[in-house]
């Protein structure tokens, strides 16, 4: 059986895949306890951003929603598809398009923090009470000596 994997992009104003992205985000929330956004917030942010998607047999298995300043609002990879380089590929797509790339991550989300550090993000500061539920966050940026070049090559390869 062959598997069809493709990349697509929903530009700002296009919400073709917002329902599938929401469903994936909610699945990750149930499995990992992260990505706790309200549906209205998520939908509005998705519609205002550029969303890079990876689909397998027409099902969304990973996505990154990015503001026009390179800030990653959401980065999600289906738990069944982790370890395949999908998150790196999405960040590489973003890094190819923006001068700077940044995001926030919960201080308690060790998986996300490890991933971001692995690909070259640097913690710039801690923000107490950042999330709606009172959770703390780190503000991270993709550093100048990061894996940006390697990520760009990864996308092309």
pLDDT digits (tens, 9 = 90+) for 115-149: 999 999 999 999 999 988 889 999 999 976 555 55
Count up the domains in the chain and report the number.
1
| 79-94 confidence digits (pLDDT tens) | 999 999 999 999 999 9
Contact 69, 54 (CB under 8 A): no
Full-model pTM: 0.86
Distance, CA of 151 to CA of 157 (rounded, Å): 10
Across residues 7-34, what is the average pLDDT? 90
CATH number at residue 17: 3.40.630.30
Q: Give the residue numbers spanning the domain of 107.
A: 5-155
Return the DSSP state at 106.
E
């Amino acid at each position: 059986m062959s598997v069809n994997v493709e990349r697509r992009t929903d530009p700002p104003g296009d919400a073709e895949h917002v329902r599938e992205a929401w469903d994936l985000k909610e699945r990750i929330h149930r499995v990992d306890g992260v990505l706790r956004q309200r549906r209205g917030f998520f939908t509005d942010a998705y519609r205002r951003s550029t969303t890079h998607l990876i689909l397998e047999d027409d099902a969304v298995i990973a996505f990154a929603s990015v503001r026009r300043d390179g800030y990653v609002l959401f980065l999600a990879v289906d738990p069944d598809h982790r370890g395949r380089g999908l998150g790196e590929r999405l960040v590489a797509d973003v890094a190819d398009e923006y001068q700077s790339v940044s995001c926030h991550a919960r201080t308690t989300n060790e998986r996300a923090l490890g991933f971001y550090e692995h690909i070259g993000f640097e913690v710039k500061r801690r923000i107490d009470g950042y999330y709606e539920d009172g959770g703390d966050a780190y503000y991270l940026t993709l550093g100048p000596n990061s894996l940006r070049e390697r990520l760009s090559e990864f996308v092309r390869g």
